[in-house]
Structure 1
Amino acid sequence: MRFSSVLQLLWLFPLASASAQNQPAATSLGPLTVEKIMREPAQWLGGLPSNPYWSEDGKRIYFSWNPDKARRDSLYTVGLDGKNPRKVSLRQQRELPAQRGTYDLTRSRKLYEKEGDIFLLEVKSGKIRRVTNTAERESEPAFALQGQAVSYTRGGNLFTWNPVTGETTQRTDFRRGPRPAPTKADKAEQFLRAQQLALFNVVRQREQDRLSREQQQKSLAKLRPKAIYLGTQTVENLRLSPDGRFVTYTLAQEPAANKLALVPNFVTASGYTEDISTRNKVGTAQTAYEMGIYDIGRDTTFVLGYKELKGLDEQPAYRKEYPLKAQAPLPVSADGKTPAAVAKEKAEQRRVVPHGPFWSDNGQRAFLVVRSADNKDRWLVSLDPSTQKIGLLDRQRDEAWINGPGIGYEAGNVGWLPDNQRIWFQSEETGYSHLYTVDVTNGQKKALTSGNFEVQQAQLSKDKKTWYLTANKTHPGEQHFYRMPVNGGPLTQITSQTGGHEVVLSPDEKTLLVRYSAATKPWELYLMDNKPGAKLRPLTHSTTSEFESYPWREPEIVTIPARDGAQVYARLYRPAKQDPTRPAVVFVHGAGYLQNAHKWWSQYFREYMFHNLLVERGYTVLDIDYRGSSGYGRDVRTGIYRYMGGKDLSDHIDGAKMLADKYNVDPQRIGIYGGSYGGFITLMAMFTQPDVFRAGAALRSVTDWAHYNHGYTDNILNEPYNDSVAYARSSPIYHAEGLKGALLMCHGMVDTNVHFQDIVRLSQRLIELGKDNWELAVYPVEDHGFVEPSSWTDEYKRILKLFETNLRNQSPARSSSGTSSGN
């Protein structure tokens, strides 16, 4: 087979004649076909439960579910006996408290926002009080003044409500625009005014009365909040200190108009092409943040400074590769300051983003989490709002970027211990995310957990004597629930089944609501006693008899010996009877930072079923948690820094070698495919390792990282104008001349994440290079994640055809031009 020599727009209908929706339900799945496994999942796999939570009294459980095979999930509820789950009507949903909210210190009251209003729930009685009932939206409810009041924001200002008196008080008066300039009378007006006051007693008396009234009004106005003019900034994250003296807030300065990318939507209800405004591209100016403090007692505002932060002026190491920038002389100021002094002052120019403050339960101490805008530093600092002083408690520095479980890109998982003296937080200091404390009085730091595993979630018990943790301590591919004493100690494993456990504690903490799955068993809900090794009691059964009729294969968890000595985890699917041509396919998961070589039900369930189909046909399939994947600690997470398509790609090359060396695969008959980041790796493999992979399917692929978003890309590759080398070696469009094997590309035309423009630009590049061994299939109604079963079916029929044609034919040799050939 020889691919066409020009760009081919392969529309949906030629291969979608066997519509999944029009097929009668089968009683048995085998043998698998693309049409069967790409149907609407709820119609034949089952509508799996998600988002479970407890009622406030712990007597009922709520969750999203779809046992009726409807177009979308509905809210269901069931008692603790698991009998007769029922759908919650829309009227009943309106009367329910919101799932998420804020509790007071005794957890006897809960605040929540619902449909733009604030509500207060008395947990024991179930009584709900409506705090606000306005057309304007209120949000961010919190208990204030040591629990004596409720605070919330409306229209960019902070209000409090007294539950006893019902009184509402406005605490801030932020106003957009500049402060109005006072008007000044000209000389003629001043003369006339003085003349009138000198000549007429009645005018003098009335003017004195006016000034007296104004003085009285000013005295009364002191009871009202100070007018704070924002200029062009906006305000967010308003918080009242526990003693009511300070309001802290974040000021955000949006950049001057950045150009946004437009995604045209061609198939619309109006019949007109409609442009979707999406995002800017990496390297464009980003929002700048400051923390403001309003001292109510002094009626004064301050902006917090960070000059004393250790390492604020530290430049990233990669700059040393660009000597002209790294060695530029320091400017000397006009007032004669030394270069060292200038450098210290310029430290403030390294932008930071503040999060918090977080107040201790007794209201006497506060801390902030401060992150550098380039995500290479994260500081925990104490805060004294009366002096606007901060004190360093902990600094995390990563020359790549700060992230990881419990850390994230914002404040992360942080809080106070019950002694009101120690802060707890998570850090990758040892290379794995673990739980730490630091004493704000003496700076003493302590690790509560340690080892070559990740603490993925952490929460304190209600009495704050016990930690409840989710971690992959037993194996990187398993998630279990643990408990541990508040000051550290041995971890007691509570769950025991092999797989993944997502746990929600009951209000009395005696029972666990568990969403559990295994490699071949989709997610279901269970209850279990809060005791080690207790039995799981099922609440739901969602899978259909059709799904259960097929013997789904449990992949082996294997490790690939990487060329740099690392052990790379992967899922391996081996056929009972290998095809005589000994073909293999390597799958590349998306997102980069995601785990798929695990022992629970994969979010890539369609791909999992497609791998079962390939195994039926005699293929060996390998699914790799390459460098950059989650679940394996900092070094794996940051293994792609400044070179996407480096270690992440070499892990796949090493995986292909292992298939040939250990599993009897023909090294000339290996294909590769994946979506999003997986599509990117597929392109890099086909362009830079053309002798390893005979065929590849790149789905919704990033083709040029300079065209992706800022938040993701800047962390890994820095900014394109500061680190051009990283972008050039990491972007497939620069390497397209290396294509030899057969390439299929698929992309949704309304993709608001990886824009359709990406694949169009690469297509033009391939045309100009004279490549004739590629195809492009476009999907006019699909975004980044496909929705329509017809689109999934069409896409995977093309992928299967690509592999069947190029990996199982009888002529594996390539032509001299590099173009795949065969029957």
Structure 2
Amino acid sequence: MKYYYLFIFISLFHYQVNAQLVLSDIMRGNDFIGNQPYHVLWGPENETIYFRWKKDSLAYKEQHVYHLKTKKIIALDPISQIDLPISGFQTNNNGAYYYQNKKGIYYVQHKGNKLIFQASGNYRLIHVFDENKILLQNGKSYLIFNHQEGTIKELMHFTESTDKEKEMDYLSRQELILFDFLKEEKNKERANSNKIQQATYQKTYPIKNQTIGLFEINSNHNFALFRLDKYAKNTNTEMPSYINKNGHVTLKKARPNVGAKHPTHVIAYLDLNHNKSGEINIAHLPGIKLDPLYLQIYNDTIDLHRSTPKAVIPTQIQFNDFGDKALIEIKSYDNKDRWICIFYTQTKQLECINHQHDDAWIGGPGISGWNMVPGNLNWFPAQDKVFFQSEESGYSHLYSYTLKDKKTTQLTNGKFEIHEAKISQNGEKFYITANKSHPGNRNFYHFHIESKTWTQILAEKGNYEVSISPDEKHIAYRYSYQNKPWEIFLTENKPNVIAAQITHSTTKAFKAYAWRTPEIIQFNNQDNKTVYARLYRPKSEVKNGAAIQFVHGAGYLQNAHHWWSGYYREYMFHNLLCDKGYTVIDIDYSASAGYGRDFRTSIYRHMGKSDLNDQIVGRQFLIENEGIDENRIAIYGGSYGGFITIMALLKYPGQFQCGAAIRSVTDWAHYNDAYTSNILNTPETDSIAFQQSSPIYFANQLEDELLILHGMQDDNVQFQDVVRLNQRFIELGKHTFSLALYPIEPHGFVKSSSWIDEYSRILKLFDAHLTNE
């Protein structure tokens, strides 16, 4: 009898770890895998960890809390969730915490919390000072609330300045011109209005058709800096929606195309002690009056010097602890310049302490390739010293600048990137996440500033997304590996300590299959740069000699890494392909994230060149090293990956037997401005870059089988893209393409039925053209 039970156990175990993958199962995504936890946030008392975790279909049960003492996870009910902070916790230097929820603003100290402010209206907690004071915003008013005294005082108010005469109709303006008594009444009305305004708001700043983009006030409550924005009118694209409740076709507004007009911004100040205000002059910043170098391609005698500053956007303002200086980051809208500046409140002068310029575009971790997104920079605690990140060395690293001796020091260095860096409360070290050990890892370190030494805290292969407790003694982190989805762990914030796993997310169905750990390989591309890739090998007994090349999306994204891929459906699909005998390669092509500045900008002005060449070199790698038949290789990908797929078939006919292009850009002049203008500039100023980068201009070279799949509600890469390419193919008499449409799907599909249909068609394409099936 014992042997009988043992046989049953062994048989069940054998079945569990050798379960066969079914396409309709894996295309259910996280419903098949198990939903992983995310958005980890420490409670202010260091004893609780909040996170989101969708364990069932009831959305209101998504918010959870873990208690360190009881080691229990509790799903918060809707009433309890009302008490959660809207935007995290803020602290002052005395160790007191404040947060705002739907009830009001709370003060937390010594493990107790107290509701200190509850008022009608749109009051919002903006900033926490010491001495029991917080900064509130209510519309265009900014106020200081002293919760110990229970007093509230308005610091300043923005007033809308309008020209009412211009808003008058013709007859009203005519009467005012013709009759003196109406003029006298109008002048009295103006005088009374000014008196009322001055009596109500002693410290005001007039704005006209502007919005308040940034607002900061110093620790002394006597000086405010702010950014005022004026948005240009742009022509939005429109998308038809074909399936609606009323049975009619409706039009939806979507984004403008590349080349859209940029907003205009000014940085202004209000000296609250002296009630003086003004705009900050930026015209002296180095390079701000220089046009981009690429313009000389069209006119080699052009003078790049401008008479006025180029369009810029201030992205952040940070006052120092003393309140007499502010750190200001400014980026150009062409994204070729970034200025880090110090503003002196006494002299009202702006000094540039670091100017970063790239003839391609500014970007990288801690810097951001999006010109409206702030980078990682701040003051050292209680010092006239700042830190920031820069790609000056070719990789994103930390730098410091000391105001006293005007000295810049590179703190970290090497052929790796600092992905996240946070300074400790005492200012002695940074808490850093970096790919120091391997481009495909994100490990967690302590970097000691004075000695410039590293202490590795979390060292395994994979990715650590770390959240540090308020007292800096513990860390809660999400961790994942190539075949292990994200889970939350807890440990002390020091080396060589065993971590406790808090969550267990994967389903029995997911755990029943022995998921592959693809090998991270590398090869040199045509520019002699090292390219990394994931390689999925089938077992020798089922290997069929055919291969699939997957192309990740976004361009600036990393997928040849050691952690759980954001392309988790594709990861599972690649396992299924291997089971069928296919070899799969997933290349981090030129412009992918994680490999430094030169790799990132290698596609400047020519998408579909170096990035596509890496796919061609990868194809040759498969033939020479993996025994792949050169006549049985396919390529597929989505978004940027779909673009590369189409370009591969058009520019290298005969190299791939077929391709599947999902949600693909076919003409970059029809994509958005923020992404496209970084890489290709604008169609009006750099038409060559757009033409040599857009598949639609190479449509006449289609020979191999191309399957195009696209969601008709895609407001990112819009359906029009593939419609235009489809029409071009028709006019050119091409017959080796087909189009699969998904009427209700956006850029990232929502319905499992659409995912299943899409990948069933892709699998059928591969089997038909690469095997005898």
For normalisation by structure 2, the TM-score amounts to 0.91
Partner Cα distance (1:191, 1:30) in 2: 88
Partner residue of 1:143? Answer: 128
- Indicate whether 1:152 and 2:143 are aligned: no
- Indicate whether 1:455 and 2:418 are aligned: yes
Partner Cα distance (1:670, 1:530) in 2: 48
Give unmatched runs, 5+ long, in structure 1: 1-25, 194-209, 331-342, 810-822
Q: CA deviation at 1:57?
A: 1.5
Q: Does the aligned pair in 2 maintain the 1:575–1:619 contact within 8 Å?
A: yes
Summarize deviations over 1:95-133 as a string: whole Å, max 9, x none.
Answer: 2334523321233122x3434x75132242331324342
Partner residue of 2:3? Answer: none
Partner residue of 2:557? Answer: 594
Partner Cα distance (1:192, 1:218) in 2: 17
Partner residue of 1:421? Answer: 384
Partner residue of 1:163? Answer: 147
Summarize deviations over 1:676-726 as a string: whole Å, max 9, x none.
Answer: 111111111111111211110000011111111111111111111111111
| Match 1:376 to one of 319, 327, 336 | 336
Query: Which range moved further: 570-579 or 450-459?
Result: 570-579
Partner Cα distance (2:291, 2:57) in 1: 55
Structure label with greater radius of gyration = 1
Q: Report the count of equivalent residues.
A: 745
Matched ranges for 1:378-527 at <5 A:
378-408=338-368, 409=370, 410-487=373-450, 489-527=452-490
Summarize deviations over 1:416-435 as a string: whole Å, max 9, x none.
Answer: 11342110111111011111
Structure 1 pair 29–160 and aligned structure 2 pair: CA distance change class (3 A): farther
Letter in 1 for 2:584: V
Q: Does the aligned pair in 2 maintain the 1:290–1:303 contact within 8 Å?
A: yes
Q: Percent identity?
A: 38
Structure 1 pair 665–294 and aligned structure 2 pair: CA distance change class (3 A): same
Partner Cα distance (1:674, 1:641) in 2: 21
Q: Does the aligned pair in 2 maintain the 1:703–1:733 contact within 8 Å?
A: yes
Matched ranges for 1:536-685 at <5 A:
536-577=499-540, 581-685=544-648
Q: CA deviation at 1:164?
A: 2.9
Partner residue of 1:173? Answer: 157
Superposed CA RMSD in Å reads 2.8
Query: Which range moved further: 626-635 or 180-189?
Result: 180-189
Matched ranges for 1:282-321 at <5 A:
282-321=258-297
Partner Cα distance (2:71, 2:696) in 1: 57
Q: Does the aligned pair in 1 maintain the 2:397–2:413 contact within 8 Å?
A: yes
1:172 partner SS: strand
Partner Cα distance (1:780, 1:538) in 2: 42
Partner Cα distance (2:563, 2:503) in 1: 17
Letter in 2 for 1:744: L
Q: CA deviation at 1:369?
A: 0.8
Partner Cα distance (1:123, 1:453) in 2: 41
Q: CA deviation at 1:411?
A: 2.7
Q: Does the aligned pair in 2 maintain the 1:432–1:633 contact within 8 Å?
A: yes
Partner Cα distance (1:762, 1:73) in 2: 45
Letter in 1 for 2:337: D
| Match 1:277 to one of 247, 250, 253 | 253
Summarize deviations over 1:64-107 as a string: whole Å, max 9, x none.
Answer: 22334657871122223675422111111112334523321233
Letter in 2 for 1:382: I
Partner Cα distance (2:67, 2:475) in 1: 14
Q: CA deviation at 1:218?
A: 5.5
Q: CA deviation at 1:543?
A: 1.2
Partner Cα distance (1:463, 1:81) in 2: 27
Letter in 1 for 2:229: A
Q: CA deviation at 1:673?
A: 0.5
Q: CA deviation at 1:188?
A: 6.2
Partner Cα distance (2:204, 2:105) in 1: 28
Partner Cα distance (1:33, 1:753) in 2: 30
Summarize deviations over 1:206-234 as a string: whole Å, max 9, x none.
Answer: xxxx99xx99x959946833454322222
Letter in 2 for 1:620: T
Partner Cα distance (1:192, 1:419) in 2: 57
Partner Cα distance (1:608, 1:71) in 2: 27
Query: Which range moved further: 448-457 or 265-274?
Result: 265-274
1:714 partner SS: helix
Q: Does the aligned pair in 2 maintain the 1:248–1:291 contact within 8 Å?
A: yes
Partner residue of 2:34? Answer: 46
Q: CA deviation at 1:244?
A: 3.0
Partner Cα distance (1:428, 1:403) in 2: 8
Q: Does the aligned pair in 2 maintain the 1:578–1:620 contact within 8 Å?
A: no
Structure 1 pair 383–84 and aligned structure 2 pair: CA distance change class (3 A): closer
Q: Which structure ranks higher in relative contact order (CA pairs < 8 Å, sequence separation ≥ 6)? A: 1
- Indicate whether 1:126 and 2:112 are aligned: yes
Partner residue of 1:347? Answer: 308
Summarize deviations over 1:23-62 as a string: whole Å, max 9, x none.
Answer: xxx97773222112112522x3212111122222122222
Q: Does the aligned pair in 1 maintain the 2:216–2:318 contact within 8 Å?
A: no
Structure 1 pair 191–317 and aligned structure 2 pair: CA distance change class (3 A): closer
Partner residue of 1:327? Answer: 301
1:611 partner SS: helix
Give unmatched runs, 5+ long, in structure 2: 1-14, 167-172
| Match 2:727 to one of 758, 764, 769 | 764
Q: Does the aligned pair in 2 maintain the 1:432–1:453 contact within 8 Å?
A: yes
Partner residue of 1:339? Answer: none
Q: Does the aligned pair in 1 maintain the 2:44–2:97 contact within 8 Å?
A: no
Q: CA deviation at 1:239?
A: 2.2
| Match 2:651 to one of 688, 694, 697 | 688
Partner Cα distance (1:707, 1:571) in 2: 32
Query: Which range moved further: 607-616 or 219-228?
Result: 219-228
For normalisation by structure 1, the TM-score amounts to 0.86
| Match 1:752 to one of 695, 715, 719 | 715
Structure 1 pair 729–46 and aligned structure 2 pair: CA distance change class (3 A): same
Query: Which range moved further: 164-173 or 649-658?
Result: 164-173
1:141 partner SS: strand
